């Protein structure tokens, strides 16, 4: 599935970054999402945790467990690079901002918005003047 050149390049990158296989906790869990019975029955989703940094990756890109193991290790290297470069914080902030924008508004927030709209409506109606003056 994975070419030997790609695997060798990943192994070399992990060695260069100081990531050892002994520092990784790897679990295989049931996948989720689209894919039908195959996803629900097989444990092809890879959970990978780097103990020294505490960075955790969950990867379910492919249907193959071996490909997901490869992608999870590559993603771990990418995240550790981002942490070292300082760009991980920006990525996390962007994800949090998107989560805040998409979440459901509270009832209090909705009520405040409706009240503000009513005040604006009253102001605009006062600008019109009396209805009989045309």
What's residue 132's pLDDT? Answer: 58
Spatial distance between the Cα atoms of 32 and 6, rounded to a whole number of angstroms = 27
Outline where 60-87 has alpha helix (H). Answer: 65-85
Tens-of-pLDDT digits for all 134 residues of the chain?
Answer: 789 999 999 999 999 999 999 999 999 988 877 777 777 788 889 999 999 989 999 999 888 889 999 999 999 999 898 888 877 777 788 889 999 999 998 999 999 999 999 999 999 999 987 775 55
Spatial distance between the Cα atoms of 62 and 85, rounded to a whole number of angstroms = 28
| CATH at residue 19 | 3.30.160.20
What single-letter DSSP state applies at residue 11? Answer: H
State both tokens at 114. 């409706």
Report the domain count for the chain: 2
Residue at 113 is within a domain: yes
What's residue 111's pLDDT? Answer: 95
Residue at 131 is within a domain: no
| Enclosing domain of residue 42 | 4-85
């Amino acid at each position: 599935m994975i070419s030997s050149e790609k695997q060798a390049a990943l192994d070399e990158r992990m060695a260069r970054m100081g990531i050892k296989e002994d520092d990784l906790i790897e679990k295989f869990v049931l996948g989720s999402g689209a894919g039908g019975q195959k996803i629900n029955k097989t444990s092809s989703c890879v959970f990978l945790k780097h103990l020294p940094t505490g960075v955790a990756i969950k990867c379910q890109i492919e249907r193959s467990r071996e490909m997901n193991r490869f992608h999870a290790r590559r993603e771990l290297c990418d995240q550790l690079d981002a942490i070292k470069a300082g760009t991980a914080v920006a990525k996390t902030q962007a994800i949090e901002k998107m989560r805040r924008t998409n979440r459901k508004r509270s009832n209090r927030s909705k009520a405040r918005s409706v009240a503000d709209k009513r005040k604006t409506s009253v102001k605009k109606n006062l600008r019109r003047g009396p209805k009989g003056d045309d």
